[in-house]
């Protein structure tokens, strides 16, 4: 195990995302809903005409402004964006930690994706134990896509940093 500070920071970041996921999936829908907040702060319904263009079949239910209303549809979009974002962070942080811990750096993205997807499955199972929550295989698939996005972003950032650092070292 590396003792360099940056490796510990990546591990701590992974741990914090995991704690956030656990807390989030432990909350009931009623504890977590953002609809009252949206109703209070977006009473003018900005973007309504734009949002009316979209309709999704997700988890066997139609999701659209017409089907569920403006605020619930907006909450649905926010929740799915949260799925993508959280698992992008989890996988990106995992990659950054693993790339230094594994013998071959190219194994890190594969392991990070597998770990993030496994955690997504566990997270949905955990939701099944929480009242008022609906575990969905579609959420695991969305989380897995988020993990791929996070790994690609981390790979790009790492490569840019790596190239910059080596150019800087060659100049000295």
H-type alpha helices, the chain: 5-26, 29-32, 35-41, 48-51, 65-68, 70-101, 107-128, 137-171
The answer to whether residue 46 is domain-embedded is: no
The answer to whether residue 69 is domain-embedded is: no
CB 125 within 8 A of CB 24: no
State yes or no: pLDDT of 82 exceeds 80.
yes
Q: pLDDT: is 158 or 151 the higher one?
A: 151
Q: pLDDT: is 50 or 3 the higher one?
A: 50
pLDDT of residue 125: 96
Query: What does residue 61 show for φ and ψ, rounded to 5 degrees?
Result: -125, 145
Confidence bin at 164 (pLDDT 50/70/90)? confident
pTM equals 0.90
The answer to whether residue 127 is domain-embedded is: yes
Q: How many distinct structural domains can be found in the chain?
A: 1
Q: What Rg do the C-alpha atoms of the chain give, in angstroms?
A: 19
Range of the domain at 96: 5-33+84-171
Determine which helix (DSSP H) or strand (DSSP E) holds 63, and give its type and residue range.
strand 61-64
Q: What is the mean pLDDT of residues 39-68?
A: 97
- Going by the DSSP 8-state scheme, the letter that residue 44 receives in this structure is T
Query: Which residues 6+ apart lie within 8 Å of 33 measured at CB?
Result: 75
Q: What is the mean pLDDT of residues 127-153?
A: 95
Q: What is the mean pLDDT of residues 99-117?
A: 93
């Amino acid at each position: 195990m590396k003792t360099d500070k940056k490796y510990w920071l990546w591990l701590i970041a992974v741990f914090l995302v995991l704690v956030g996921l656990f807390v989030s999936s432990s909350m009931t829908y009623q504890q977590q809903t953002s609809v009252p907040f949206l109703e209070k702060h977006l009473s003018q319904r900005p973007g309504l005409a734009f949002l009316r263009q979209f309709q999704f079949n997700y988890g066997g239910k139609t999701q659209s402004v017409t089907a569920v209303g403006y605020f619930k549809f907006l909450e649905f979009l926010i929740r799915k964006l949260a799925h993508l974002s959280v698992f992008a962070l989890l996988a990106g942080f995992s990659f950054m930690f693993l790339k230094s811990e594994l013998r071959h750096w190219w194994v890190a993205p594969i392991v990070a994706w597998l770990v993030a997807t496994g955690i997504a499955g566990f997270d949905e199972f955990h939701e099944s134990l929480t009242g008022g929550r609906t575990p969905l295989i579609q959420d695991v698939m969305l989380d897995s896509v988020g993990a791929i996005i996070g790994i690609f972003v981390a790979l790009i950032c790492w490569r840019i940093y790596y190239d910059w650092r080596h150019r800087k070292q060659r100049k000295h």
